[in-house]
A and B are shown apart, each in its own frame.
Chain A
Amino acid sequence: MLSRIAESLFWIGRYLERAEDTTRIVEVHLQLLLDDPTVDQDDAAVNLLEVMGVPVGESADTNEVLRALCYDPASPSSVAAALGGAREAARRARETVSIEMWEAINTTWNSVKAGRLQRMRPASAFRLVRERCAVISGTADQTMSHDDGWLFLTLGRSIERIDMTARLISTAHLISGTQATWSNVLRGCGAHHAFVRTYGGVTTDTDAAEFLLLDRLFPRSVVHNLRAAQAALVELDQKARRAGSDEAQRLLGTARAALEYRDPGMLLDDLPHRMTDLQRICNHVSEAITERYFSGATAATWSGGN
């Protein structure tokens, strides 16, 4: 498949996941503020924006969080910008994505562009975004061939999900240390129900962290997505004989081993720092994939004739 199209699909996957996960992170943030009256709202907002990579001045408040992370298409970390990015990427790969998927993305973007999110209560807006993302990825799964293009889409989604889950865990950790934190994080990942069914009602922080980081079967856990990304890369690279020759696979494998084979008793140690590392690894993986598969798309420029 064309390098340029592969890159577009990879980014559709990333942007859609980013839109969804950003709403989850903001929702957890708002919920934490409600649950824990001791938290300083402005500090929490500054922390969140920093983790999400938004440049912040001295102070920020909840309105600023909603603007920078949800509504403002000019803010690169916002949900609106992510949906716009997904739509632009899909437009560039329009003959490759299925018609139904294109329409799902396009109608979503049209309503966001028209300011629909601002007009709703935040909770409804978040649910709308999540539902639209589910519709789009479900449509993609059911209407696209599961060929290389689909693999790039999956790859983008998995990597973004690792990155964003890591951020979610960091923010929750920074804001508050109460017991409610982990159950909010679990709720934010849509994992609370699955968690309770797996571990039962009486749980510890370690159980929750274990579930989000290490559960093999839950599709939003970090390890699950590291595996999924790796599997997609293996599928794309059928011809490779020597294991570990692909930079992206090597990085993902190392990260997964570091998580999986860590002493179970030390799971919570130094967690925020390790989550930052995980984000850094996601960036490196993305670069390695670009280098290997997409850089063919950089044009040779003609400089003769003048």
Chain B
Amino acid sequence: MSLLFRDYAGTPKAFDEVVGAEGVRVAYGSVLRQLAKLDSEEVRARAEYLKSTYLDQGVTFDIGGEERPFPLDIVPRVLLADEWAEVEAGVAQRVRALEAFLSDVYGEGRAFRDRVIPRRVVVTSPHYHRVVAGIQMPNRVRCHVAGIDLIRDEVGRFRVLEDNVRVPSGVSYVMTNRRAMFSALPEVTNRHRIRPVEGYPLHLLAALRAAAPSGVADPTVVVLTPGVYNSAYFEHALLARMMGVELVEGRDLVCHNGRVSVRTTQGLRPVHVIYRRVDDEFLDPAQFRSDSMLGCAGLITAARAGNVTIANAVGNGVADDKLVYTYIPDLIRYYLAEEPKLASVDTWRLEDDEHREEVLDRLDELVLKPVDGSGGKGIVIGPRANAKQLDALRARIQKDPRGWIAQPVVQLSTVPTMIEGKMAPRHVDLRPFAVNSGDDVYVLPGGLTRVALPEGELIVNSSQGGGSKDTWVLAPDGVRGKRRRRRPREALAGVPQVDLGEERVQQQAQQQQQTRVGGSPC
């Protein structure tokens, strides 16, 4: 093992993905072997390169108006083919169930009638939007893109932590991470068969085109961004560029007669599919926040008229709601008649009197999450909080029990991460991305692995100082052998060169000099 990893041991409580009780795990064997061929200084230099290349490329995210490069760690996270197969099937199943649930919620409401989930839970969600009830999606898809956050528990089993079917972000870093790793560690990457991630934009574009309003043969797709000050602006630009579509802001759009157009130098041009990265509340000032500058008034009307498709659909947030999360295993059984393939994390519903009493007694050992939060905002980790914070939390829960859920502290799995030039275990999660085209659910092999960089930290979000790792899904024959030598092919003639006749001129010029030296009479 390389010097860098010699003293590495995981943390006692968590599952370490690299080192187990029997030594290095299968998935990482060859990665560590290849890394060991590089000397420690070299690995550190490569890690520095990763940092500088992201600054040059402008691969950044914004925190409070400041652009920062997204930290990418030098050690990849590796998943074996069969580990991934389990994740892939589980994520696809979950997306199918969420789709069925959402069209039920905004449609006939079978699940309420059959008492699988109380109607109260859904309609009290802050992200439930009555204004979109009854809107039919052209190809019945509402979650064109989904990001399902997974963690590995103390025994290494994947569990779903939360669902993101509003505007999940981070996929751009999956693609840029891969490119950066290929150029930073070619010796390691080229010895593995890693399933590619470059195809994502094509899958996304296909899904968006498939979702176009009926009767539009060649739909115009745009990406709607809140603008350069949004933390994920880099991603919006990257996706637009890779899909070859326009990146628009709310002020570029105009709605008229139930149709949406974009302002160009040649006048207005119609738009059919909007992949929006603007939150529901800001999307249409005529329906939601009337002071929004980020959206365009009339979008919902146009969507209801069936002239434009908004992807992801408005109102998807009910499925992200963390109280609804507790019902998802039941919903999977109800809609799909299948057992859930991925486990969830045990969760207490604080609306329930018994649950609440138990949780309030044990606040200092549990994790409390607001139901509508994302990006790790508002989470309180009991064992880390002081008495004052816990009291404040208790009061807030009693005031709004619907607004909170409680979970046990799950020790996220760890992967070695370079911290100040040394390898140290850090907690990670995984966000696989799924694209639903209506015909099938494509799960991008790998997804975004986020790392909590401070020691012992369990919240991995980039807005909370998290970094990332390139996530490799190995093909079934994951490690490449030595390449057999091919017979040399017959080479074509070399590159053409100009003949300036220099040689002869040079000869004569030199002869002339010699005659001069000889003392010619001229």
A-side residues, CB < 8 A to B, are 1-6, 88, 91-92, 94-95, 99, 102-103, 106-107, 110, 148, 236, 293-294, 296-302, 304-306
Contacts and interface: CB of A to CB of B under 8 A. Distances in A.
Given A95-B238, A305-B290, 18 more contacts: A1-B264, A2-B246, A2-B248, A2-B265, A3-B252, A94-B237, A94-B247, A95-B223, A95-B240, A102-B58, A103-B57, A106-B57, A236-B265, A294-B265, A296-B267, A298-B251, A301-B293, A302-B297
Given A2-B252, A4-B252, A302-B286, A110 B55 contact: yes
A3 B290 contact: no
B68 interface: no
A305 B286 contact: yes
Among B56, B250, B265, B266, chain A packs the most CB atoms within 10 A around the CB of B265
Contacts of A91: 58, 228, 233
Contact of A4 (B56, B233, B251, B285): B251
Majority secondary structure of chain A interface residues (helix, strand, loop or mixed): helix
B228 A92 contact: yes
Nearest to A293: B265
Contacts of B223: 95
A3 B58 contact: no
A88 B263 CA distance: 21
Contact of A6 (B56, B250, B262, B265): B265
Nearest to B55: A110
B254 A95 contact: no
Given A2-B262, A103-B57, A297 B228 contact: no
A305 B285 contact: yes
Contacts of B429: none
Main secondary structure of the interface of B (DSSP, over half): mixed
B249 interface: yes
Given A4-B252, A95-B241, A110-B55, A304 B265 contact: no
A1 B57 contact: no
Contacts of B292: 302
Indicate the size class of the contact surface on chain B.
20 to 34
Interface in B475-490: none
Contacts of A110: 55-56
Interface in B223-248: 223, 228, 233-234, 237-238, 240-241, 246-248
A95 B172 CA distance: 13
A296 B58 contact: no
B250 A299 contact: yes
Given A2-B248, A4-B251, A95-B237, A148 B265 contact: yes
Nearest to A300: B254
Given A92-B228, A305-B285, A103 B56 contact: yes
Considering residues A302, A304, A305, which has the most beta carbons from chain B within 10 angstroms of its beta carbon? A302
A148 B250 CA distance: 22
Contacts of B241: 94-95, 99
Contacts of A302: 285-286, 290, 292, 297
A4 B237 CA distance: 14
Contacts of A299: 250-251, 293
Interface string B254-284: 1000000011111100000000000000000
29 contacts: A2-B252, A2-B262, A2-B264, A3-B263, A3-B265, A4-B251, A5-B246, A6-B265, A94-B237, A94-B241, A95-B246, A95-B247, A99-B241, A102-B58, A110-B55, A296-B263, A296-B264, A296-B265, A297-B252, A297-B263, A299-B250, A300-B254, A302-B285, A302-B290, A302-B292, A302-B297, A304-B297, A305-B286, A306-B290
Contact of A2 (B233, B254, B263, B290): B263
